[in-house]
Amino acid sequence: MDSSPMRMCNLATDNCRLRLRPLRGVPGAAGILIALVWMAGAMAQEARVQVLGDPRDIFVDQPVLVQVLIDFSQRCEAPSFPDILDCSVRFAGVGPDSTFRMDLNGHVTESRKRSYRFELIPRRLGRFDIPPIDVQADGRVIQTQLTSFEARRDDTGELVRAKIVGPEKPIYAGQQIELTLEIQVRAPALERREQRGQGRIRLDAAETWRYLNAATLAPFSTYRSQGAISLPEEGGLLGQWFVYRLVERVVATQPGSLRFDGLIVRMRYPLEYGIDSFGMLTNTIITRVREVAVEPDYGNLTVLPLPEQGRPADFAGAVGTFTIRSAITPGDARVGDPLELSVDIRGDGPLDSLPPPRLDMHPEITANFRIPDVPPAGETIRSARGDEPLVRRYRFTLRPQRPLSELPSIRYPYFDPQRGEYAVAIAPAVPLRVTTADRISDEDVVGLGGRSAASAPPAERPEPGLRPMTSVEQALRGARTDVSRAEALAAVGAPPAALAACFLAGWLVGRRRRSPLLRERRALRAARRRIRAATKRSPRERAAAVHAALVTYLAERRGEPPGRYVGREGAALLTACGAPAEVAQRWMEAVEAAEAASFGGMNNANDDALAERAERVLIEVAGVRMP
């Protein structure tokens, strides 16, 4: 072994360095020549095409990811993907790459391993051939081999279905309605890896729900119920399906078909499992899942516009059924005094967005009161728990213009969607006593100054004839001011300086809050805090908390929703941000291990090791710069 030219080669997998030195027992030139011959074979440039993912999960009209790998090149250009009949092609970005360095007596040679990804969507059943692709690398043209894949019929509807159920009566624009998102999932029957048809296990409804991505179900967030039903499948047989129902109150804002942008039911449907043996313990882990995305069926949910016929002139846009009550304080005032009018509206409509009553359309009020030009913003009074709006309250400031004995009644028109017609809620008149303001004489006005008219010195009588004429310039020159130049400059310059200081302070605070470094530190502290807070939970719950902490860390660091980087998407993000391939790999392994442990459970020793592993991976990922 001492005479082998491979003895002094230190070769790693991704970012590697090879250092060649004179070998013992072999002349220097001969040893170097032997090593170079070996390296020439190892570093032969090669380009190949890989179809990512499980070949059993390629379906018609579903995207499949293909990457072109170029090995051992210093410079290469992005290849042009050929057109494929009945298949759409789109460039999906640059994949992970690695670097190889060779140090030969101080002369460093570097080569890289690059990858380019493309998204293909087959449009028919059957086999698709990817013809050889020409790749420009280091001034040479290398060619890939013919690669094939087969697209099967998309059976997503046989695994997951979704629909939205709404009221049976017509829906009108502005109406608050209760909708139910019903998700049907075929009860997973998992085959054991490498033993198909034997040892199947089934998941229950609670375990199956954990594989649904709840972050993509907005605006539905209130989980109401789950159950099991039997539905017909292929061959006329009945199969077990789990049903999950989520309920949400929404406001139909626009006429037309009711739709929710971005509402996709996503699920990592489990297909196979394996047995992970650790000492005397065995854990069941999920080894294969299928990414499923289903758009819910909206049925005939249509929003109708409000009718023009019968619409009152003072209609402000309220839709629902409402009652109104008014109160005014103080109840005893004089003409011109400010009065506070409080109007409370209750009902089953969207109280948070309910418009105020149109006081300017009430002749009895505008003739007797001065009303504000801008309507008040209003406030919503909620229940003790804070989750249910009870009353919408508006406060107006009125000033009476003449003596009054009552506040006139207030109308509040609304559209009743149950009856399909307009109605009016009326707040009855409120007793009010407004009197005329007291009149005061000229002597009283003089007396307010502290002396009576009799004690005031007699005014000087003007001399007869014309008074001397005085120009404006003379008057200005004769006038004196007690304000110095410094005070005048301070008075003029202080407001702009204060405004600039406030603007600068706000900009600095906002910049600090938007700082990626600060967001990164907050996300790291939050993730580590979540992992440590789960120490008192059961092993499954702690593993689930570790998985959630890892996934949420990337989302918080990027300022995106918590469910954005689930599964391999987190590793893809790290790779796109320039993270070393081994860091992305360790991240993906840690996430998958936590997810598998949350399903199968583990003992306390494995639990602690999983948490320590997650914290180590977090520290590694914290060093990756993200835009």
Q: What is the pLDDT of residues 94-124, one digit of tens each?
A: 888 777 677 766 676 666 788 899 999 999 9
- CA dist 458 and 323 (Å) reads 66
Structure tokens given for 273: 């499992």
For residues 575-584, average pLDDT: 84
Question: Distance between CA 143 and CA 561 in Å, rounded?
Answer: 42
The predicted structure's pLDDT at residue 344: 95
Q: What CATH number is attached to the domain comprising 393?
A: 2.60.40
C-alpha 27/C-alpha 31 separation (Å) is 6
d(CA 543, CA 537) in angstroms, rounded, equals 9
Q: Is residue 536 in some structural domain?
A: yes
- Can you read off the two tokens belonging to residue 33? 């020549």
For residue 549, give every residue at least 6 positions away whose Cβ sits within 8 Å of its Cβ, in sequence order, or none: 526, 527, 528, 530, 531, 614
Q: What local confidence, expressed as pLDDT, does residue 410 receive?
A: 95
Residue 81: other Cβ atoms inside 10 A: 19
The two three-digit tokens of residue 277, written as one number: 């043996």
Q: What mean pLDDT comes out for the span 471-486?
A: 64
Residue type at 170 in one-letter notation: P
Examine the domain organization and report whether 140 and 237 are in the same domain.
no
Characterize the bridge pairing of strands 339-347 and 256-257. Answer: unpaired
Mean pLDDT, residues 536-542? 78
Give Cα 12 distance to the centre of its chain: 40
- Mean pLDDT value across residues 414-430: 94
Minimum mean pLDDT range among 328-342, 374-388, 468-482, 612-626: 468-482
CA distance 296 to 300: 12
Whether 114 and 222 share a structural domain: no
Q: Are 543 and 594 in contact (CB under 8 A)?
A: yes
Query: Exposed, middle or buried by CB within 10 Å (0-12, 13-18, 19+), for 245?
Result: middle
pLDDT in tens, 364-407: 999 999 998 888 888 999 887 766 788 999 999 999 999 999 99
**What mean pLDDT is predicted for residues 480-500?**
77
Question: Within this chain, do residues 417 and 533 fall inside the same structural domain, yes or no?
Answer: no
Chain CA centroid to CA 221, Å: 14
Mean pLDDT of 404-426: 94
pLDDT the model gives residue 483: 66
Please name the residues in contact with 488: beta carbons below 8 A apart, sequence gap of 6 or more. none
Query: Are 162 and 139 a contacting pair, CB within 8 Å?
Result: no
Is 477 within the bounds of a domain? no
What is the reported pLDDT for 2?
42
pTM across the whole model:
0.53
Nearest to 148 by CA among 245, 76, 51: 51
CATH number at residue 107: 2.60.40.10
Q: CA angle, 199 as apex, 196 and 205 as ends, to 5°?
A: 105
Q: Are residues 186 and 147 in the same domain?
A: no
360-369, 399-408, 596-605: which range is least confident on average?
596-605
- The count of structural domains within the chain is 4
Query: Is residue 471 included in any domain, yes or no?
Result: no
Q: How confident is the model at residue 453 (pLDDT cuts 50, 70, 90)?
A: very low
pLDDT of residue 439: 59
The verdict on 218 and 138 lying in the same domain is no
DSSP H or E run through 345? strand 339-347
pLDDT digits (tens, 9 = 90+) for 21-47: 444 444 555 455 544 444 544 456 688
Using DSSP, state whether 75 is helix, strand or coil: coil
Q: With pLDDT > 70 as the criterion, what percentage of the chain qualifies?
A: 77
> Please, what is the average pLDDT of the chain?
80
Does the structure show a pLDDT above 90 at 603?
A: no
Q: How far apart are CA 271 and CA 189, in angstroms?
A: 7
pLDDT of residue 323: 95
Q: Which residues contact 2 (CB under 8 A, 6 or more apart)?
A: 24, 25
The answer to whether 430 and 393 are in contact (CB under 8 A) is no
The residue among 417 and 438 whose pLDDT is bigger is 417
Q: State the DSSP code for 81.
A: P
Q: Letter for the amino acid at 519?
A: R
The pair of three-digit structure tokens given for residue 620, joined into one six-digit string: 């590694």
Q: How far apart are CA 557 and CA 625, in angstroms?
A: 11
How confident is the model at residue 481, as a pLDDT? 59
**Residues spanned by the domain of 118:** 46-151
More confident residue, 442 or 170: 170
Residues contacting 496, CB < 8 A, separation 6+: none
Domain boundary among 435, 470, 491: 435
Q: Is residue 600 part of a domain?
A: yes
What does the pLDDT read at residue 10?
Answer: 38
Give residue-wise pLDDT tens across range 540-557. Answer: 788 888 888 888 888 887
Q: Are residues 173 and 291 in the same domain?
A: yes
pLDDT tens per residue across span 219-265: 898 888 888 888 887 667 788 999 999 999 999 988 999 999 889 89
pLDDT higher than 90, residue 497 = no
